[in-house]
Structure 1
């Protein structure tokens, strides 16, 4: 794949029209954190029939599974859409408000994706459909205050078996959608009461929790540098009782393998998000370089400005090629390895952050002002190098794969 098809471009233009009508007028309220993003996301779903496609696909899938057909693993893919259709809305939304994509992606790709991959038919019917249609907001809770990048080894949240139930305790932080989530996919370690053994190696369990459960507290949105349109919060669990019907146990490898599969989904998606930021920053920079004049000539005539634009274009081509490669892999039915997804994220996230900061520099003093959109995009792009695993973690996963060959 070397370019978008005519059908892809029609989809892109339709999404752009919706963004111009629905998102841009609300951009200030979104970036101020005054407007939660969920009604806008639901509007996107209804406008393009994504909710009805999800319902139809879900019904077919459940019917297949009830008839005994082998389960598939497409729970995190937009129902009824091709590979390009899943990427184009991400790219276009990230040109304006990357936080919308983060909020949507965690609810759909991570929370719904985990339920649909790991849940029983009953669990999918109980939680999956509402998440896939965005009727309910989902959160995916793995990060803890003291674990950071050591998500599994440093995990302190526990589940202790008491009779037919589990008692959950612990806290999570930096949880996308945490303040507003209706459904929470929660990772913790099994506390089997054994005194010996390394706590780091204990089994990881995955639970599905609902807003309002006794002992579950969801914080207000945290203040942060960027991605203000994506609410982030903390979760506190104090003796939360969860029945065995809330444990996701399907698939191989348990909760740890489930989380790793989601890391692949999330990291590959960052390439599409980065492409959106890069394309928008390049477009804004070109427009500004043509209009802004110094010493009687437009700044685009100066070689240093031309160098900035040229480097932005090189980054755009490279990241677009990563996205095209990912689309071709999906068409071929192949999922990237963790190392491949990490490589995509590492390069794309760094490129987006560098391009956005260069755009700020090209704008000069205006670039530092919030009325010029490159300022917001630069703040938002920096988050790509941190969430879904920092740059340093991506390097580790890539290098381990290379050294294991």
Structure 2
């Protein structure tokens, strides 16, 4: 893939019109945290038919899974044709266009939906039993319900698994969950929350190495407290908060993968592995978000350089301003090409490794932050004013260097991948 297709560009035009009409009028309320983004996102889904497409796609996927399960139970050999992706070609790039355009205006809003679908729903889809998928996914994929994905804790940000203290212990046929999570996107409002916790069993296994299980909780469960949204430097349109678990009782039906998840060595038992797969896709997603910020800073800066005059000349005539614009263009091309490459690999079924995803995240988020800070500088005093929006883009871009694993941790993952060859 070397360029956006005509269909991608049509989507881009349509989403820009929608943003101008539906999103920008509410931007101040969104970016102050006064207005949660969820009803606007539901309107986006309805206006573009995303909810109907997601519902139909899920229905077909679950029906196919049920037929496969019934065929396996009957001893029938299943077809191994390659039609499962039929009709999906081009969807990845259209989704990337939509996400990047939204990110350039309200990064927090698109991050909220990205976590709900790309982490919450995706984890249930990859780890859940058919019954669990049928129970929770229909309302999440249509945005009727919002999902959170809870792994980070106060003392275990980058050391997500080793430092995890949230635990579950068995109590008959149930589990009892206790602990705390923090920095949880959608946490204050989530209808459904995917929670990672360590199995608390006195079998001599060191705490750092204990089995990690994954559960699904619903809003309003006894013992579950969803804290208020934090005040943040950026991404205020993405409600982020704490979750507290005070002896929450969970049935086996809430353990993703069901009883098989308790069998050590089974695919369903490895909560760490599913989380790592989520990390990879989340980090590739950061490149798409970064591209949106770079594109918006690029557009605003070019327009401003043409209009703003100094000593009777547009500031775009001055070489130092031209240097900033040229560096923005280099960053735009590089990050866009990373996105194109990732899309091609995903289409080919070749998901990036954790180290590759970390490299993509490291470069793209630093590029977005550099571009946004250069945009603030190019705008001068106006760049420091909220009215001109580049200050919001700078704050949002900086969050991407911490979001989905700090960039310092990305360096470690890249280096480990290289040294393991």
Same fold judged by TM-score > 0.5?
yes
Q: Does 1:344 align with 2:352?
A: no
Q: Is the 8 A contact 1:65 1:71 kept in 2?
A: no
- Please list the CA deviations of residues 364-386 of structure 1 after superposition, one character each: whole Å capped at 9, or x if unmatched: 11111111110100001111100
> Given the alignment, which residue of 245, 253, 264 partners 1:245?
253
CA shift at 1:71, angstroms?
A: 12
Q: Does 1:177 align with 2:193?
A: no
Q: Where in structure 2 are the equivalents of 1:1-400 lying within 5 Å?
A: 1-68=1-68, 82-194=91-203, 196-249=204-257, 251-252=267-268, 254-400=270-416
Q: Is the 8 A contact 2:213 2:269 kept in 1?
A: no
Deviates most, 200-209 or 79-88: 79-88
- Please list the CA deviations of residues 95-124 of structure 1 after superposition, one character each: whole Å capped at 9, or x if unmatched: 111111110000000000000111011000
CA shift at 1:81, angstroms?
A: 6.6
- Cα 1:10–1:263, aligned 2, differ >3 Å: closer, same or farther? same
Distance 1:160 1:237 in 2: 13
Distance 1:197 1:125 in 2: 35
Distance 2:89 2:111 in 1: 21
SS in 1 for 2:149: strand
Distance 2:295 2:145 in 1: 31
- Cα 1:79–1:3, aligned 2, differ >3 Å: closer, same or farther? closer
Distance 1:294 1:60 in 2: 60
Q: Where does residue 74 of structure 2 map in the other structure?
A: none
Q: May I ask how many residue pairs the two structures share in their alignment?
A: 400
Distance 2:40 2:90 in 1: 20
Q: Is the 8 A contact 1:57 1:80 kept in 2?
A: no
Provide the alpha-carbon RMSD of the alignment: 1.8
Distance 2:374 2:416 in 1: 32
CA shift at 1:193, angstroms?
A: 2.8
CA shift at 1:79, angstroms?
A: 8.2
Q: Is the 8 A contact 1:54 1:80 kept in 2?
A: no
Please list every run of 5 or more consecutive structure 2 residues that lacks an aligned counterpart in the other structure. Answer: 70-77, 81-86, 262-266
TM norm structure 2: 0.92
Q: Is the 8 A contact 1:99 1:227 kept in 2?
A: yes
CA shift at 1:17, angstroms?
A: 1.2
Distance 2:339 2:202 in 1: 47
SS in 2 for 1:8: helix
The ranges of structure 1 where at least 4 consecutive aligned residues each deviate by more than 6 angstroms after the TM superposition are 78-81
Q: Where does residue 75 of structure 1 map in the other structure?
A: none
Q: Is the 8 A contact 1:54 1:133 kept in 2?
A: yes
SS in 2 for 1:278: helix
- Please list the CA deviations of residues 157-212 of structure 1 after superposition, one character each: whole Å capped at 9, or x if unmatched: 00000001000000000000000000000001000134x33110000000000000
